């Protein structure tokens, strides 16, 4: 079970997440209270251990701009969080995560989109995270390959273990669920990662 912590904006938060065992760190390169500049993200990324991969989150951005930022920061993944057509995803040189809202009609043809991973999130009017969960049983009807599924939407340390058991995704994605007063909380990140990886720890 991989864990992605999104919306990281500081060196302190990134290092705390890395020390807690995070697998993926997300940088938001679009208008948001968690937006970060490419220069700041590059500085943080340069000091992350090799075990932590980086994701750049974009909304309806030009491919050339995404490629430029990806090169500057050294991104491993580009996450498309808008209405990007398939041709945009196909043109990118990095691995692509495509976000979809958890709505039945939107998920019916998800598997036809040219990406490496699907991120399924609670529908939100502002494209960002809503901080609320959705009905996970909806995913049972879609036939989405669990090895390509990142589960998001209202996850936090107290429900992520239940979410993993119900959905069995490739990875879980969290942002506000590990924050206190809008800032990444080291103890919440540590607790979230521990709970998300609980089953794996018990197998060892």
Considering the candidates 39, 121, 158, 173, report the single residue annotated as catalytic: 121
158 tagged catalytic: no
pLDDT at 127 over 60: no
Mean pLDDT within 20-35: 97
Nearest to 77 by CA among 100, 65, 91, 93: 93
CATH architecture of 2-203: Alpha-Beta Barrel (3.20)
Residue 142: C-alpha distances to residues 2, 9, 20, 157 (Å): 22, 34, 33, 26
According to DSSP, residue 105 is labeled H
115 tagged catalytic: no
Residues 10, 53: Cα–Cα separation, whole Å: 16
pLDDT band with cut points at 50, 70 and 90 for residue 41: very high
Tokens of 64: 């050339």
Q: pLDDT by residue (tens digit) across 76-102?
A: 999 999 999 999 999 999 999 999 999
- Residue 109 has a pLDDT of 81
Considering the candidates 6, 23, 115, 173, report the single residue annotated as catalytic: 6
Q: Which helix (H) or strand (E) holds 191?
A: helix 186-196
Mean pLDDT within 146-152: 95
> Domain spans of the chain?
2-203
pLDDT at 130 over 60: no
State the pTM of this model: 0.93
């Amino acid at each position: 079970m991989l864990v992605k912590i999104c919306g990281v904006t500081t060196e302190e938060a990134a290092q705390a997440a890395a020390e807690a065992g995070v697998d993926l760190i997300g940088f938001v390169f679009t208008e948001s209270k968690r937006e970060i500049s490419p220069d700041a993200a590059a500085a943080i990324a340069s000091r992350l251990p090799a075990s932590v991969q980086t994701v750049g989150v974009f909304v309806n951005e030009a491919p050339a701009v995404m490629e430029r930022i990806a090169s500057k920061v050294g991104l491993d993944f580009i996450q498309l969080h808008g209405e990007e057509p398939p041709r945009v995803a196909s043109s990118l040189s990095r691995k692509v995560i495509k976000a979809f809202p958890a709505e039945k009609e939107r998920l019916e043809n998800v598997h036809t989109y040219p990406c490496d991973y699907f991120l399924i999130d609670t529908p939100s009017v502002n494209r960002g995270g809503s901080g609320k969960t959705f009905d996970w049983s909806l995913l049972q009807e879609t036939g989405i390959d669990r090895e390509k599924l990142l589960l998001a939407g209202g996850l936090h340390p107290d429900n992520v273990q239940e979410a993993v058991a119900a959905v069995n995704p490739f990875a879980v994605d969290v942002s506000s669920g590990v924050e206190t007063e809008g800032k990444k909380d080291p103890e919440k990140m540590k607790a979230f990662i521990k709970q998300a990886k609980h089953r794996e720890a018990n197998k060892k």
